Homo-oligomer: A and B are copies of this chain.
Amino acid sequence: MEKAKQQPRSITYVAAITEGVRAILNEQDNAFVAGEDVAGAGSVFGYYRGLLAEFGENRLFDTPISEKAIMGLGVGAAATGCRPIIDIMFMDFIAECMDEVTNQLAKMRYMFGGAATLPVTVLTMSGGGMNMAAQHSQCLEAWLAHLPGVKVVMPATPYDAKGLVIAAARDNNPVFVVLNKLSLGIRGEVPEEVYEVPIGKANVVREGSNYTIVAVSRMVHEAVKAADELAGLGLDAEVIDVRSIQPLDTALIIKSVEKTHRALVVHEAVRFGGIGGEIAAQIQELAFDHLDAPVARVGAPFSPVPFSPVLEATYMPNAAKIVAEVRKTLEI
């Protein structure tokens, strides 16, 4: 795990994103931010707040409500020498520009035989738990991870949020930084310095000896809670924060499972067809002889995200569901 080298301070996830973006705007003259209400309002989630005053209106651009044009702006500007930071307010709205993402952004370099370089960073906000109902709560990262040509990172902590934003914006490829709503207020140590969290490297956030929980985004924190509970059942669970789902740090995951012999994958996205299927399939393929139990999975049930608080509470994956799934799989 990367360590803060100096000035350890505890700041929020949302403030960490701001710091990451600020670092890039300072560092890269050709970087700018474009999206709905990113400049004047500093994003409805607040993570660009203050940057307009700091960098001026030639670096942050409020756009019309036109996701296709916003993503197209990123593609065209990146292909011609800029380093756009594109904001898609809610991840649900990425559906509006999946053509630009899939057929242009992800493929242009390949189709052009390597002649185009597309350093586009896309920030977008996923996740439920805030009673925002079916169209403002989705986790659609599995779509993106299935697309050759893009990278997809999902920070769970303030430290990773800052470091991954910086790494994404320095990367010469399209990188989606999939943020999480319920994480916005999470606090953690974040150095003031500018640093990268390398894309494609997972992180062992809790070491353990006989169970591996592979967690995506905010589920990392639920997994840690679950691990604490599992300790009472005699399980010493290791928790891995995948951080990047494309590329995926398969090696680290397999190393852990070879040690622990059992694994569970958890994400907030709908379980069926989620990235957990890919991870579980890889684990059983590459660590088959090491497995003492089937790779378990926890994800959202097969329904849209309901509005009603009681239903949404039932819907959301959490520590209790992880523990229940572990117990079921291990029959303990």
Q: Is the CB of A284 within 8 A of B277?
A: no
User: Is the CB of A110 closer than 8 A to any CB of chain B?
Assistant: yes
Q: Does A142 contact B (CB under 8 A)?
A: yes
A-B contact pairs, 30 of them (CB 8 A): A95-B99, A95-B102, A96-B98, A102-B138, A103-B135, A106-B304, A110-B134, A110-B303, A111-B134, A111-B304, A146-B270, A146-B272, A148-B272, A148-B302, A148-B303, A246-B272, A246-B273, A248-B272, A272-B278, A276-B281, A277-B281, A277-B282, A278-B281, A280-B281, A280-B284, A281-B281, A284-B284, A285-B294, A286-B294, A288-B291
With A98-B95, A293-B288 already in contact, the answer to whether A142 and B146 are too (CB < 8 A) is: yes
- Contact B285 A278, beta carbon cutoff 8 Å: no
Do B148 and A270 touch across chains, with their CB atoms under 8 A apart?
A: yes
Is A143 at the interface (CB under 8 A from chain B)? yes
A295 neighbours in B (Cβ, 8 Å) = 281, 284-285
Whether A143 and B143, one on each chain, are in contact in the complex, defined by CB atoms closer than 8 angstroms, is: yes
* Contact A285–B304 (Cβ < 8 Å): no
A92 touches B (CB below 8 Å): yes
Contact pattern, A 71-102, Cβ under 8 Å of B = 1, otherwise 0: 00000000000000000000011011011011
> How many Å lie between the Cα of A320 and that of B146 in the bound state?
24
Q: Which residues of B contact A98 (CB under 8 A)?
A: 95-96, 98
Partner of A277, one of B277, B291, B306: B277
Chain B residues within an 8 Å CB radius of A92: 102-103
- Say yes or no: is A296 at the interface (Cβ < 8 Å to chain B): yes
Tell me which residues across on chain B come within 8 A of A269, comparing CB atoms: 146
Determine if A323 is an interface residue (Cβ-Cβ < 8 Å): no
A133 contact set on B, CB distance < 8 A? 111
Q: Is there a chain B Cβ closer than 8 Å to A274's Cβ?
A: yes
Are A278's CB and B273's CB within 8 A? yes
Q: How far apart sit A272 and B147, CA to CA, in the bound complex (Å)?
A: 9
A281 and B297 contacting across the interface, CB-CB below 8 Å: yes
A206, CB-defined interface residue at 8 Å: no
A111-B111 Cα distance, complex, nearest whole Å: 40
Each complex incorporates copies of this chain amounting to 2
Query: What 8 A-B pairs are tightest by C-beta distance, nearest first?
Result: A146-B273, A277-B278, A280-B281, A288-B294, A277-B277, A95-B99, A95-B98, A98-B98
User: Are A297 and B273 within 8 A (Cβ)?
Assistant: no
In the complex the two chains form, what is the Cα distance from A143 to B102 in whole Å? 12
Chain B residues contacting A307 (CB-CB under 8 Å) are 111
- Write the A102-145 contact mask toward B (1 if CB under 8 angstroms, else 0): 11001100110000000000000000000001110010101101
Q: B residues within 8 A CB of A272?
A: 145-146, 148, 246, 248, 278
Residues of B within 8 A of A273 (CB): 142, 145-146, 246, 275, 278
CB closest chain-B residue, reference A104: B135
Q: Does A149 contact B (CB under 8 A)?
A: yes
A113 to B103 CA separation, bound complex (whole angstroms):
35
A303–B150 CA distance with the chains assembled, in angstroms: 10
Query: Closest chain B residue to A67 by CB distance?
Result: B99
